[in-house]
Structure 1
Amino acid sequence: MGKYFGTDGFRGEANEVLTVEHAFKVGRYIGWYYGQEHRARVVIGKDTRRSSYMFEYSLVAGLTASGADVCLLHVTTTPSVSYVTRTEDFDCGIMISASHNPFYDNGIKLINHKGHKMDADVEAKIEAYIDGEIPELPLAKKDRIGRTTDYSAGRNRYIGYLISLATRSFEGKKVGLDCANGSSFMIAKSVFDALGAKTYVINNEPDGLNINTNCGSTHINVLQEYVREKGLDVGFAYDGDADRCIAVDENGNVVDGDLILYVCGKYLKETGRLNGDAIVTTVMSNLGLYKACDKVGMKYEKTAVGDKYVYENMVKNNYSLGGEQSGHIIFSKHATTGDGILTSLMIMEVMLEKKMTLGQLTEPVRIYPQLLKNVRVTDKKTARENPAVQAAVNAVAETLGDDGRILVRESGTEPVIRVMVEATTDELCEKYVDQVIDVIRAEGLVVG
């Protein structure tokens, strides 16, 4: 974690935490960094936030001032930027988005030439430049000044790529899409229409201020009601930049990232396409997922929270599938990042090939009640390592045994300790979470 760049880019309230000056300097450094031996080529996409245009122009100014040529995908998804960057020989991709955050936040996600999230050492150098710790960079002169080109054709090629991944027609299937008034409104319906689905779309009229507002993957109840009301076969909800997907089955039940990993992982294993017969999860995945995996002989890895860490593990071990409970799902054969629309297509493949509904496919998994509470503390490390706190955590773990678990971890972005318990009932979750928090408070570790 750097000063400005977290696990998912440089993010914060527009013109408060993240400013146009920051964006300009990011562009200046990237243009110079990749342009030392040749003219740098950079592709930029953005989501539907009002401030995305402001940051796009600031980045372009910095990039072209350093001599880079810039191609603009305009409003598009994060995974499309990753796809175009790695398939069309760009040095770097930039996505302007704050993902599932409210409209007044924004962010800058940097993607390297392989379509992966930018290396931490490059981000550290950008931070040093922003803070004036690196001498001012030379400006491009005369014919070395960069230029900007419309590149909406790149987005269209990505749409074509998604369509090409489908194994059969979606004809006869009634599919609901919640586009979160975000990036997917430009792409998702086109893909499902082309594949023959009867497509029902909601929250696909962005106005710059309504992205993620009571819609999308973070407000899944909206799609649940819509699927029930329209009698749809399945529904898919995306977040602001469409790198995550949460599904809804034919009965209106939520199918989160854990259930998606089970459904797709089991199918890939049955068809001999799950490398190592294993999926990659994070420590936040539900105990019910692991118990279901054990029953079908599917192995699993656990990483720190963040799709960045999931993908690192997948690359290291050559795994096919990984993801997070939040709906970031990575299919390494097809993408290098979470892709909400791609995930939808993979779920459709399982449903069609197995001739089963999504509700039937998820039925073997018993999801355990889970409760997470955040505690603001004076020092995260001190709180987590406190002997009395550790003793309380160990006592809960011993009491739960195989029928639950407790996880206490430090937040990566706030002065907060997160206490999470899974157990057989909501009441037990509440009891044991509060039991640990009471000890943290009694030890004088809580702020206020």
Structure 2
Amino acid sequence: MSAFKWIISGKGIQRTLTLAALFALLSLTAAARISPRNKGVNWAVLVAGSSGWSNYRHQSDICHAYHIMHDRGIPDERIIVMMYDDIANNLLNPYPGRIFNHPNGSDVYAGVPKDYTGKEITPALFLAVLQGDEEAVKGIGSGKVVKSGPDDRIFVHLDDHGAPGLLGFPHGELMADEFAAVVTSMHEAEKYKEMMIYIETCYSGSMFEELYPTSLKVYGLSASSPLESSWATYCDSLNGVCLGDEFSVNWMHDTEANDPTTETLKTQFENTKRLTKGSQVMQWGDTSIDAQVVATFFGPTSSAPKTYSTKRTQETSIPVHEVPLVMLERELKSATNEFEKKRKAKEITALIQRRAFVHETMQTIALVVTGDEKRAEEMMVKKDKQITNWSCYNPVVHAFSENCFNLGQSTYALTTVHTLLHLCEAGYSRGDIINSMNIVCNFLTIENAI
């Protein structure tokens, strides 16, 4: 049908637009005025905050997540990858230059942009990248930052070790309230339309608890509740490490098994929660966002669906803090000669002794602060205690990491940090707590108490 029609008036024959065609042309004109910025684009920030061969799974998860984002249409200039990059070419890697996130999977390391690596991986750098602070990253790594606007959506995936209200980096801790404060400032500056945050750590629920009101338009999933360990999986691999983490593997498998243009984020949450047996996957923030389809954050491109054995995932999972010990026990069991058996037995004994030392150190700190053995024991017991005294908790956590055990490298030390939370919430001053560390931790900071 022609967009024009002829009409006869006193002044002769005129040509005019039909009403439908007029609206169509007006829509096209309006669309032409909308810049690409206003249409909104997707950004992804993928962070593995650990280092070392035993933490293989964190970088493996992040590499896999990159391929999901890339394959679904988010260009590399809007995917920022932060990882230590000491796994693929590690001397212990039986498959040099390759990383696997599934026992029968393909290499997930190939093609991954290493935007920031090694000692560049710090909480400060992550927050600068997220906020689009190009000046702060000048001369560091790729220099890529999130240059988002009011119509953009940002997906953040953090994969690491954690404790109440914190996520460990190789050097430094990302505190939950500081992270939330940055997100709040981004919202106020209209740097995003919606943000989605997935966190794979122990106690990851505490990174969200009471920090993300619905007004911030942030939707989050945590691998665990604020009180429990997350679980590693595919821990039966031939290279002696766990290939992935249960929550991360499950949400990525779900993404690859379904059409992102039809599956909702709510369905992904429900599937991931159902499949994750070791810990309680939880939703946070503006949960109304889960009515949208997965493609809203992960990109619209569909690919051939992949299927995985969820039974194997569940049968090979281990609580994160038990991974080092379980792996050593397996190596002892599979040792083929007496020398190797004795060596592994000594390593197990040394690991248990290190853990006992961590526990005793924290217990002594609590005793010096409280002056009472019974009270100190009470501080050591895990409780359903929400963090309210951040002005005490943050500095004592940093002091413990700097003076006693590097929390980014010391998996087991993280399991005792709740004691510092309890001391702060019980009203003991941060000065007294930090002074007790100066008295008790009269040794060089221990970097790797696993």
Considering the TM-score relative to the shorter chain, is it more than 0.5?
no
Q: Which has the higher contact order (CA 8 A, sep 6+)?
A: 2
Normalised TM-score (structure 2): 0.29
Normalised TM-score (structure 1): 0.29
